[in-house]
């Protein structure tokens, strides 16, 4: 037996990369093209009617929102069917379980891969946005870091959810009642202050809003209304809670 040199989490990460090398074409549209189309159509198209918002042109205002919601899309896209499929259809997780790879390695390897996926999309998006004059501050360099935390904060709980269910029809509910409302009302396209006061707590509860707030502060170079540590802390809470739940769900599903 050769002594182990590679951490099992990285081995799982490596498997995801090998898959990505085969399937990356399919993700180009949703990860790169779609966010840019969003930005152009809404930022410039709708922006013409909106003019400026909170003192900046509308395009620059929604850049961080589209950025964070792209991260959410990638989290969702890769943690729903892909995770359930590796339990039910390919049974790849069962194959891993028969090796020294532990449930915590599977979860962490998966999330590490998603962070990479999100970062590639985030950096590509930011590079495009520079040409539109959408970044107003060198603090924009912090945005990818925020997006990494947001990736884990959203992907980990969804991964836990996917590992706990037995049928993919639950994903439709997740999209309908969580993802789409978050994207619409968590400060991506307009400030949450414009929502009725009774609905606002829902936006505050959403990790997406905290990600949007931090990204917006970064790209526009201004301070957040709430202390940044609250936003970061809240996202970390989702990340840690999500990872814990996901590891438990994986254990329950792979061991008896």
Partner 1 sequence: MADQPLIFARDLVKRFGDFTAVNGIDLEVAPGEAFGFLGPNGAGKSSTMRMIGCVSVPTSGQLRILGMDPAREGTAIRARLGVCPQLDNLDPDLTVRENLTTYARYFGLSRAESGRRADELLEFVRLSDRAKGKVEPLSGGMKRRLTIARALVNEPDLVLLDEPTTGLDPQARHLLWERLFRLKQRGTTLVLTTHYMDEAEQLCDRLVVMDGGKIIASGSPRSLIETYSTAEVLELRFPDGLDLNGDYAAKLEGVGERIDPLPDRVLVYADDGDAALAEVHRRGLTPSSVLVRRSTLEDVFLQLTGRTLVD
Nearer to partner 1, 128 or 254 (CB): 254
> If binding is defined by CB under 8 A, does position 25 make contact with partner 1?
no
Report in angstroms how near the CB of residue 117 gets to partner 1 at its nearest.
16
> If binding is defined by CB under 8 A, does position 14 make contact with partner 1?
yes
> If binding is defined by CB under 8 A, does position 117 make contact with partner 1?
no
Nearer to partner 1, 101 or 217 (CB): 101
> If binding is defined by CB under 8 A, does position 248 make contact with partner 1?
no
Among the listed ranges 2-10, 57-65, 139-147, 165-173, the one in contact with partner 1 (CB under 8 A) is 2-10
Report in angstroms how near the CB of residue 146 gets to partner 1 at its nearest.
31
- Please report the beta strands in the chain, taking only residues with DSSP state E, as ranges in sequence order: 52-53, 56-57
> If binding is defined by CB under 8 A, does position 107 make contact with partner 1?
no
**Beta carbons of 147 and 211 less than 8 angstroms apart:** yes
- Residue partners of 203: CB distance under 8 A and separation at least 6: 185, 186, 187, 192, 195, 209
Among the listed ranges 97-105, 126-134, 153-161, 232-240, the one in contact with partner 1 (CB under 8 A) is 97-105
> If binding is defined by CB under 8 A, does position 254 make contact with partner 1?
yes
Number of other residues whose CB lies within 10 A of the CB of residue 210? 30
Please give the residues from 34 up to 93 whose contact with partner 1 meets the rule CB under 8 A. 90-92
Report in angstroms how near the CB of residue 24 gets to partner 1 at its nearest.
12
> If binding is defined by CB under 8 A, does position 240 make contact with partner 1?
no
**Beta carbons of 58 and 50 less than 8 angstroms apart:** yes
Question: How many Å apart are CA 165 and CA 126, to the nearest integer?
Answer: 36
Helix (H, G, I), strand (E, B) or coil at 225: coil
**CB burial of residue 130 (10 Å; 0-12, 13-18, 19+):** exposed
Torsion (CA) 52, 54, 59, 64 in degrees, nearest 10:
180
> If binding is defined by CB under 8 A, does position 2 make contact with partner 1?
yes
Nearer to partner 1, 91 or 176 (CB): 91
Number of other residues whose CB lies within 10 A of the CB of residue 30? 14
Alpha carbon of residue 108 to chain centroid: 15
Nearer to partner 1, 10 or 174 (CB): 10
- Tell me which of 57, 78, 80, 102 binds partner 1, using CB under 8 A: 102
> If binding is defined by CB under 8 A, does position 237 make contact with partner 1?
no
Dihedral class, residue 221 (left if φ above 0, else alpha if ψ from -120 to 50, else beta):
left
Report in angstroms how near the CB of residue 35 gets to partner 1 at its nearest.
25
Binding residues for partner 1, rule: CB under 8 A, are: 1-8, 11-12, 14-15, 18-19, 22-23, 90-92, 94-102, 254-256
């Amino acid at each position: 037996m050769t002594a182990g040199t590679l951490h099992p989490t990285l081995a799982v990460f490596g498997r995801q990369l090998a898959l990505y090398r085969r399937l990356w074409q399919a993700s180009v549209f949703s990860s790169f093209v779609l966010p840019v189309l969003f930005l152009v159509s809404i930022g410039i198209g709708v922006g013409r009617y909106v003019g400026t918002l909170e003192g900046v042109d509308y395009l620059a205002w929604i850049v961080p929102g589209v950025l964070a919601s792209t991260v959410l899309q990638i989290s969702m896209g890769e943690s729903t069917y892909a995770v359930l499929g590796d339990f039910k259809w390919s049974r790849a997780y069962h194959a891993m379980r028969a090796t020294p790879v532990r449930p915590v390695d599977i979860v962490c390897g998966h999330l590490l891969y998603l962070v990479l996926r999100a970062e590639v999309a985030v950096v590509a998006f930011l590079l495009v946005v520079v040409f539109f004059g959408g970044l107003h501050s060198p603090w924009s360099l912090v945005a990818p870091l925020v997006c990494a935390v947001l990736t884990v904060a959203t992907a980990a709980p969804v991964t836990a959810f996917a590992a706990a269910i037995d049928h993919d029809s639950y994903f439709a509910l997740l999209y309908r009642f969580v993802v789409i409302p978050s994207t619409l009302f968590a400060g991506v396209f307009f400030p949450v202050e414009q929502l009725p006061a009774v609905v606002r707590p829902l936006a505050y509860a959403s990790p997406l809003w905290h990600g949007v707030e931090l990204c917006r502060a970064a790209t526009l170079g201004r301070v957040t209304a709430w202390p940044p540590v609250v936003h970061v802390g809240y996202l970390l809470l989702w990340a840690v809670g999500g990872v814990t739940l996901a590891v438990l769900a994986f254990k329950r599903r792979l061991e008896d």
